[in-house]
């Protein structure tokens, strides 16, 4: 130890570190094989059917969304008006059937928008209509 410099021996490589270093290259090869398998089978679903057969026409998807929005709007409208009529016949504060009726009217507007193809706006109106009907439930 001349000159005051301290030289240290390199740290010994433990046996646990050695497999990790050699395993890294093997893992990279295994990962590449796994990616290749995924790419080969990407066009198949769990049943082995081709996914390309399941691709839907965008017009069909839009048509289904329109019918769903319109049908849901009609059902919620009928439920809201039925609840308004039931509460109107019972002894409830006037704001209860009014809230149910107003919510049903909003849902009716949503059904019309959904039938015309404005499904996103219809969805938000359906949510707003149900929230107004929920206010009627809270007033009761």
Q: Alpha-carbon distance 22 to 2, whole Å?
A: 38
User: Which CA distances in Å does 137 have to 15, 59, 91, 105, 128?
Assistant: 70, 39, 14, 16, 14
- Residue 50, strand partner residues: 44
Contact status, residue 133 vs residue 87, Cβ threshold 8 Å: no
Percent of the chain with pLDDT over 90: 47
Write out pLDDT tens, residues 36-93: 665 565 555 556 555 555 678 888 988 999 999 999 999 999 999 999 999 989 888 8
pTM for the full predicted model: 0.59
Region of poorest pLDDT, from 37-41, 94-98, 108-112: 37-41
The two tokens of residue 120 are 């996103």
């Amino acid at each position: 130890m001349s000159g005051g410099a301290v030289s240290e021996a390199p740290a010994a490589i433990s046996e646990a570190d050695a497999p990790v270093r050699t395993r890294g290259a093997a893992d990279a090869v295994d990962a590449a094989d796994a990616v290749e398998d995924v790419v080969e089978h990407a066009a198949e679903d769990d049943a082995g059917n081709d996914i390309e057969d399941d691709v839907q026409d965008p017009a069909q998807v839009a048509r289904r969304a329109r019918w769903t929005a319109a049908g849901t709007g009609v059902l919620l409208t009928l439920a809201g008006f039925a609840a308004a009529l039931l509460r109107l016949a019972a002894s409830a504060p006037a704001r209860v059937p009014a809230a149910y009726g107003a919510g049903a009217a909003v849902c009716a507007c949503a059904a019309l928008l959904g039938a015309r193809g404005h499904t996103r706006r219809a969805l938000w109106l359906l949510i707003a209509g149900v929230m107004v009907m929920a206010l009627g439930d809270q007033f009761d």
